[in-house]
Amino acid sequence: TGIDLYVEARGFVPTREWKRTRFGERWYDGETVVASIGQGYILVTPLELAVAYAAIASGGKVPAPHLVKREVGSEDEPALSLTVGSRSLSLIRQALEGVVKDLHGTGRRADVPGVQAAGKTGTAQVVSLPEEDIPEEEIDYYRRDHAWFVGYAPSRDPEIVVAVVVEHGGSGGKVAAPIFREIVREYFRGRKQ
């Protein structure tokens, strides 16, 4: 992301060549589908996702993240721009709004009264379990999925992007989305939207 730290952990997006070199195996079409939902060999940091969502929210301008001790008066120019068309960005933003505001959206618990938010839930698999129907409380803590929610608000004129990760928390919609809601609620406390 280029954050002003001496060392930054980096995510990883696997390629066909990487898999062939690393494992001596071919890439299967199903692995593309798995990677597209953030599973398999793909790795991403919360900051990388926050920067990606900031770019989506701003219409394609990729910000350079900074550690902030206090707010100063100037705005930085974006470090990069996404090479995604405005129609595609508009569809993505509509989908992210729907995750939070639609009746059956997985991120309904991220809804902040008075502030239209947009975002996406995520449930990152820690290990592959043999059965899908094991109750969460019966799964060993360190084998439980990580809960994610990444979003921004207000959705039409974004001011804040938040990435929430709860290690071994389970469902992103049940666990991480309410944390996002409380952070955004606190950010906008006392301000009219």
Q: Any idea what the CATH number is for the domain that residue 169 is in?
A: 3.40.710.10
Does residue 144 lie in a domain region?
yes
Say whether pLDDT at 33 is over 60: yes
**pLDDT category of residue 9 using cuts at 50, 70 and 90:** confident
For residue 190, the model assigns a pLDDT of 77
Which helix (H) or strand (E) is 109 found in, with range? none
Q: Output the average pLDDT for the chain.
A: 88
* Residue 55 tokens, joined: 């770019």
Q: How far apart are CA 54 and CA 13, in angstroms?
A: 20
**pLDDT category of residue 65 using cuts at 50, 70 and 90:** confident
For residue 82, the model assigns a pLDDT of 74
Q: What is the 3-state secondary structure (H, E, C) of 61-107?
A: EECCCCCCCCCCCCCCCCCEECCCCHHHHHHHHHHHHHHHHCCCCCC
Does residue 181 lie in a domain region?
yes
Does residue 182 lie in a domain region?
yes
Does residue 132 lie in a domain region?
yes
Does residue 61 lie in a domain region?
no
Closest CA to 139 of 168, 166, 167, 172: 168
Number of Cβ within a 10 Å radius of residue 175: 22
Q: How far apart are CA 13 and CA 41, in angstroms?
A: 7
Peptide bond into 154 cis (omega under 30): yes
* Domain housing 154: 86-187
Does residue 18 lie in a domain region?
no
Q: How far apart are CA 47 and CA 45, in angstroms?
A: 5
User: Tens of pLDDT along 71-105?
Assistant: 665 565 556 677 788 899 899 999 999 999 999 99
Strand order in the sheet with 160-166: 118-124, 146-153, 160-166
Say whether pLDDT at 70 is over 80: no
Q: How far apart are CA 107 and CA 155, in angstroms?
A: 14
- How many domains does one find in the chain? 1
Does residue 41 lie in a domain region?
no
For residue 71, the model assigns a pLDDT of 62
Does residue 180 lie in a domain region?
yes
Determine the 3-state secondary structure of 127 from DSSP: coil
Q: How far apart are CA 33 and CA 123, in angstroms?
A: 16
